[in-house]
């Protein structure tokens, strides 16, 4: 129970020891401890500020990245649309060119067919003409041997010519 009710001497020496330790600490340790605490507080504040700045920069970079991605998507879709349009244009031009070439080939073929047809008709007419001349020559030789038959034949030809 003696510790619960301390004597006046013990109280005095304890208080004196406390005051001496307090004065020594105040004179030599208090300023470095407070400076260290201030330095630590500033360091923590700077770290928090840096963390917030980095977080803002990250948010800004994320927004810029999303904008870049959106622009890239738009450019990609524009490029794809242009590529499709170019492809359609090339296909249409190729089809048109093919139609023109086909029509040109058809016209040339028809002209060749007509030329060959006319050549064949001319050849047939020439051959028919030769055959007619040969047949006529043979008929006339036989008929011209007789003088009265010759006169009758010439008279028939003249009558045919007048009628035509």
Predicted confidence (pLDDT) per residue in 64-111, tens digit: 999 999 999 999 999 999 999 999 999 999 999 999 999 999 999 999
Stated as kind and residue range, the H or E segment containing 140 is: helix 31-144
pLDDT at 68: 95
Residue 37 lies inside a defined structural domain of this protein:
yes
Tracing tokens 């406390």 back to the chain, one arrives at 18
Residue 112 lies inside a defined structural domain of this protein:
yes
Residue 30 belongs to domain spanning: 8-117
Residue that wins the pLDDT comparison between 32 and 134:
32
pLDDT at 17: 96
Residue 151 lies inside a defined structural domain of this protein:
no
Number of domains observed in the structure of the chain: 1
Dig out the tokens for 159 from the structure: 């009558």
Altogether, the residues listed in the chain come to a count of 164
């Amino acid at each position: 129970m003696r510790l619960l009710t301390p004597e006046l001497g013990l109280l005095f020496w304890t208080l004196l020891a406390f005051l001496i330790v307090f004065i020594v600490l105040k004179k030599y340790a208090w300023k470095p401890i407070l400076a260290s605490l201030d330095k630590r507080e500033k360091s923590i504040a700077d770290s928090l500020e840096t963390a917030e700045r980095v977080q803002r920069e990250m948010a800004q970079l994320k927004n810029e990245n999303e904008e870049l991605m959106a622009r890239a998507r738009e450019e990609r879709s524009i490029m794809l649309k242009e590529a499709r349009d170019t492809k359609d244009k090339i296909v249409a031009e190729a089809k048109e060119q093919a139609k023109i070439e086909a029509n040109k080939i058809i016209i040339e073929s028809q002209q060749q067919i007509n030329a060959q047809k006319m050549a064949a008709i001319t050849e047939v007419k020439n051959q028919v003409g030769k055959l007619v001349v040969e047949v006529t020559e043979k008929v006339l030789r036989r008929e011209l041997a007789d003088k009265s038959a010759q006169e009758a034949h010439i008279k028939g030809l003249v009558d045919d010519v007048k009628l035509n």
